[in-house]
Amino acid sequence: MSLRIAQVATMGFPVPPRGYGSVEKVVHALTETLVGEGHEVLLIAAQGSTSSARLHEVPGTPWAFNRVGESTHSLVDRMRVVRHIRNVLLRHVDELDIVHFHSAWMAEALQPSLPIPSVTTLHMQLDSPDNRNTLGKWDAGPLVSVSDAQRQGVRDLDLPWVATVYNGLPLHETTWLGSGEGGYLAFLGMLSPTKDPAGAMRAAIAADMPMRVAGPAPWYEGEYMREVLNPLLAHPLIDWIGEIGDSERGAFLGDAVGTVCTTPGPEPGSLAIIESLAYGTPVIGRHVGVPPEKVHDGIHGYLATTDGEREAACRALGRISRSTCRTWALQRFSQQRMTQDYVRVYETVLGGHLVSQMADDHRAAQPKWTR
């Protein structure tokens, strides 16, 4: 059955992003696959976006970010964008079956005033005080998580989850089986305590293995860079190459013997794990958060939390089959699989909406008894 779907992206970066922007990469993959499978899609996204879907670019976006990594847009900017998107959706309301939001605050602002059903994917970590406070008052329709681990910190809240849908990317089209002949370990991510690059570098140094570090250093982490990272980056085994784009990512990951993902908290998604496995490169991740859902210990890499465990895992990477890693990624984290899962979500939400609407119609048709 062909569906008519509005995808409402975040407004921070265009779809697809030109550099950083993981959510926008996922939205692009989903939108293009939906169109390819015969669905009608309206993509509402930041200016500069491109798509084979019907595209509406929102004026005044993408929003700029200041030197400490915070968005510069104000509440007035948000309300202006909300009004604009609401007008676009209402203008096309008779041409849509469902709206898919990829931003929680945007769903909160728009969903209650829409006469058609919607679903929202939460792409962020949920257990922060601000996010728990927001979700504790959630009244904006069904929710999708990007991993089961993402829900852990809010299990005490009565949230309307309909599914977990793992992120997907065009892996068949853009990746290949890498050789790992570079002989180095890879770290891919922001140089911030939230990603713990120090833990990854310490493991490489302890295992006496070279490591290439790819990622930007945020302005606001100056003290962390000076006191924690700079001494490690100065080690002869460590090579920091800065931020890399999609065109460089294949060689970087495919030539690595393994990727070390050391995010200490319950990271919800991690495209770095997906991309690494797609190039056949095994992953070392922690026991918490999403890694246990994407990396089967001893098969696609290792789950290791302490420095000692990671050191041992680095030395054992040669036991992992690269072809097994790639096959797993192509099966589990492709854009085709993600799209199939989301189509099932749309059908579930639409089915529930129809049942609710029929019940309302039935109640309205009952005779009104008076004394």
Q: Where along the chain do its domains lie? A: 4-170+335-365, 171-331
> Looking at domain 171-331, which CATH architecture does it have?
3-Layer(aba) Sandwich (3.40)
Q: pTM for the whole thing?
A: 0.87
Instruction: Tell me the angle at which helices 197-206 and 307-315 cross, rounded to the nearest 10 degrees.
Output: 60
pLDDT value, residue 288: 84
- Alpha helices, H only, 92-190: 104-110, 129-136, 171-174
Predicted local distance difference test score (pLDDT) of residue 69: 53
**Do 280 and 317 contact (CB within 8 A), yes or no?**
no
241 contacts: CB under 8 Å, gap ≥ 6: 212, 213, 214, 252
Pair 269, 146: CB distance under 8 Å: yes
Beta-carbon contacts of residue 326 (< 8 Å; ≥ 6 apart): 175, 177, 277, 278, 279, 280
Fold (CATH) for 4-170+335-365: Rossmann fold (3.40.50)
pLDDT of residue 362: 39
E strand map for 25-81 = 40-46, 54-58
pLDDT of residue 358: 41
pLDDT, position 319: 97
Which distant-in-sequence residues (6+ apart) come within 8 Å of 27 by Cβ? 7, 9, 10, 15, 43, 45, 102
Are 4-170+335-365 and 171-331 equal in CATH topology? Answer: yes
pLDDT digit string (tens) for the chain, length 371 residues? 799 999 999 998 899 987 667 899 999 999 999 999 999 999 999 999 999 999 999 998 887 654 445 566 677 888 899 999 999 999 999 999 999 999 999 999 999 989 999 999 999 888 888 889 889 999 999 999 999 999 988 999 999 999 999 999 999 999 999 999 999 999 998 898 888 999 999 999 999 999 999 988 877 778 899 999 999 999 999 999 998 888 899 999 999 999 999 887 777 878 899 999 999 999 999 988 889 999 999 999 999 988 899 999 999 999 999 999 999 999 999 999 999 999 999 999 999 865 444 444 434 444 433 32
Query: What DSSP element (H or E) covers 145?
Result: strand 143-145
Contact 252, 212 (CB under 8 A): yes
Residues 6 or more apart whose Cβ sits within 8 Å of residue 293: 147, 148, 149, 166
Nearest of 231, 178, 234, 238 to residue 203 by alpha carbon = 238
Q: For residue 349, what pLDDT is reported?
A: 97
> Which pLDDT score is estimated for 353?
64
**Of 81, 79, 43, 76, whose CA–CA distance to 62 is shortest?**
81
46 near 15, Cβ under 8 Å? yes
pLDDT at position 243 is: 87
Q: What is the pLDDT of residue 51?
A: 97
